């Protein structure tokens, strides 16, 4: 009886120990699994954190790249060539300098002769160095009815013409950017050469004599007409140019 109780007690203790061991094993497994789960969660969270950090870093790099790109663009804009107003000297000068000077000198010469003829007309004095007989007869020409046009002495008309010619043949007029100036120049020369042709016809076919001073004025007018027509053909009716924009040179 006592042995049987002792055996049952031992069996009970062994069973209790085995159950505790199983419970401990189960608890350990759960804890381990939980730890694993928690570790896995931590790992996953860590992965997410790392991914988020990578995304943030990428965005930061993109932001910095954009800032750098914007700065580069701003720098490029700042370094871009600026435009300033300068004169295009080649286009602005108009016809060649020799033509501008030649026409001005011829206009001044014609003005000088016209002044002398006007003085001689009103003082009724003989023209110096001019013959008074034969084909060359200055007095006959300057006192003929043809020496007046519309009641105005031809010498006075010539004086007015060459005063205008000096102004219109000056370098300032040649370099003018206004088209009207060049149109008026060519128009005045056309009128002048037409009047000269009439005077030559009157001297040769109506008066029957010529005047050396008048002939010199006719020759000057003809040369001015030719040069003006040549300038219009070669450089156009607007050789002068206004200001225009050109890129400024950047320092090396």
Sequential DSSP letters for 2-66? HHHHHHHHHHHHHHHHHHHHHHHHHHHHHHHHHHHHHHHHHHHHHHHHHHHHHHHHHHHHHHHHH
- Residue 43's pLDDT is 42
- pLDDT < 70 stretches in the chain: 1-93, 238-252
- Residue 131's pLDDT is 77
Question: What's CA 154's distance to the chain center, in Å?
Answer: 48
- The vertex-228 CA angle with 226 and 232, nearest 5°, equals 115
**Tell me: the pLDDT tens digits for 161-212?**
999 999 999 999 998 888 899 999 999 999 999 999 999 999 999 999 999 9
Burial zone of 149 (CB within 10 Å; 0-12 exposed, 13-18 middle, 19+ buried): middle
> For the chain, what is the mean pLDDT?
74
Which residue in 143, 165, 149, 172 sits closest to 217, CA to CA? 165
Distances (CA, A) of 167 to 75, 107, 110: 52, 9, 13
Asked if residues 189 and 123 have their Cβ atoms less than 8 Å apart, the reply is no
Distance CA 102, CA 68 (A): 63
- Residue 77's pLDDT is 46
- Residue 187's pLDDT is 96
The DSSP bridge partners found for residue 136 are 210
- Residue 237's pLDDT is 74
Q: What does the block give as tokens for 222?
A: 């003809």
- Residue 71's pLDDT is 45
């Amino acid at each position: 009886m006592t042995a049987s109780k002792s055996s049952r007690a031992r069996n009970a203790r062994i069973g209790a120990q085995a159950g505790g061991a199983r419970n401990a094993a189960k608890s350990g497994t759960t804890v381990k699994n939980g730890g694993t789960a928690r570790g896995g969660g931590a790992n996953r969270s860590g992965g997410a954190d790392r991914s988020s950090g990578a995304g943030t870093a990428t965005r930061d790099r993109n932001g910095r790249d954009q800032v750098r790109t914007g700065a580069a663009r701003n720098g490029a804009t700042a370094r871009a060539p600026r435009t300033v107003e300068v004169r295009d000297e080649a286009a602005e000068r108009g016809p060649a300098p020799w033509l501008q000077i030649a026409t001005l000198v011829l206009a001044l010469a014609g003005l000088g002769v016209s002044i002398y003829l006007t003085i001689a007309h009103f003082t009724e004095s003989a023209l110096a160095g001019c013959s008074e007989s034969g084909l060359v007869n200055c007095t006959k020409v300057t006192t003929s009815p043809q020496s007046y046009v519309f009641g105005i002495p031809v010498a006075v008309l010539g004086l007015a013409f060459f005063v205008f010619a000096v102004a219109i043949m000056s370098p300032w007029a040649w370099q003018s950017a206004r088209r009207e100036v060049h149109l008026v120049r060519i128009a005045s020369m056309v009128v002048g050469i037409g009047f000269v042709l009439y005077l030559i016809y009157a001297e040769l076919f109506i008066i029957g004599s010529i005047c050396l001073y008048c002939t010199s004025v006719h020759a000057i007018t003809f040369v001015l007409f030719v040069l003006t027509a040549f300038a219009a053909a070669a450089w156009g009716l607007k050789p002068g140019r206004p200001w225009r924009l050109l890129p400024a040179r950047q320092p090396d």
